[in-house]
């Protein structure tokens, strides 16, 4: 079901529900994604699923609903953002992922911060043509639960701000939709790095 705005712009939305589980291996966690409305635009059909619908990362400890919106090919304006809001405000979402086929105007980007009360991630369709999480050199990432995080901080007698940092703008953090304050266990296992474990806090 495609929706049209006064400017005849249409969106394709995909709903994703993630079950709550304890932090498990990144390679085994999987979400169920159900397509709603019509097929995505041609430029987005082969797009790798964005972060919050991540199929290969340990999900956060609490269940939450995520919706993907494939925006029209035209530049995204404030009117487009308002229409998306009207279509999703009753969905009880915790996160929204916008897939763009064109640029987003600066005023529209500001409007997102003002209108939506939850996190909105923005990706260009071309950013998702390659699944960076499947790269052979990418280490395994596991999200620590609240209890695991507290135990880690107590064991090393540190605050989360004293842990090595992973920026919220990091490619992997964006792909998985990591929130600030999330502590991630990163396991390296390669010829150059050897096998070692590091912990990073998202800032």
Domain boundary among the residues 131, 154, 188 is at 131
Question: Do both 45 and 56 map to the same domain?
Answer: yes
Report the sign of the C-alpha dihedral through residues 104, 116, 40, 33, in that order.
positive
Question: Do both 18 and 112 map to the same domain?
Answer: yes
Question: Do both 172 and 100 map to the same domain?
Answer: no
**What does the angle CA 165 – CA 175 – CA 63 come to, to the nearest 5 degrees?**
95
Question: Do both 140 and 182 map to the same domain?
Answer: yes
User: Would you state the pLDDT for residue 18?
Assistant: 40
Count of domains in the chain? 2
Question: Do both 119 and 153 map to the same domain?
Answer: no
The whole domain housing 103 covers: 3-131
Question: Do both 124 and 151 map to the same domain?
Answer: no
Question: Do both 86 and 142 map to the same domain?
Answer: no
Q: Is 146 left (phi over 0), alpha (psi -120 to 50) or beta?
A: alpha
Domain boundary among the residues 104, 131, 158 is at 131
The torsion angles phi and psi of 198, rounded to 5 degrees, stand at: -135, 155
Question: Do both 102 and 44 map to the same domain?
Answer: yes
User: Would you state the pLDDT for residue 73?
Assistant: 95
- State the 10-residue block means of pLDDT for the chain, 203 residues long: 44 48 34 36 43 40 74 95 94 93 96 94 93 89 96 95 94 91 94 89 95
């Amino acid at each position: 079901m495609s929706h049209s705005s006064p400017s005849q712009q249409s969106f394709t939305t995909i709903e994703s529900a993630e079950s709550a589980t304890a932090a498990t291996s990144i390679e085994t966690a999987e979400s169920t994604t159900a397509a709603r409305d019509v097929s995505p635009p041609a430029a987005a059909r082969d797009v790798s699923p964005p972060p919050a619908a991540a199929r290969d990362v340990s999900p956060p400890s609490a269940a939450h609903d995520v919706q993907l919106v494939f925006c029209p090919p035209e530049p995204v304006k404030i009117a487009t953002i308002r229409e998306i809001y009207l279509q999703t405000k009753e969905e009880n979402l915790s996160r929204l992922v916008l897939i763009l086929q064109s640029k987003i105007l600066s005023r529209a980007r500001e409007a997102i911060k003002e209108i939506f009360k939850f996190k909105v991630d923005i990706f260009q369709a071309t950013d998702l043509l390659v699944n960076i999480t499947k790269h052979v050199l990418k280490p395994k990432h596991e999200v620590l639960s609240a209890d695991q995080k507290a135990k880690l901080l107590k064991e090393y007698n540190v605050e989360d701000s004293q842990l090595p940092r992973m920026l919220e703008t990091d490619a992997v953090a964006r792909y998985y939709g990591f929130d600030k304050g999330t502590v991630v266990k990163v396991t390296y296992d390669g010829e150059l790095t050897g096998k070692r474990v590091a912990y990073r806090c998202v800032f």
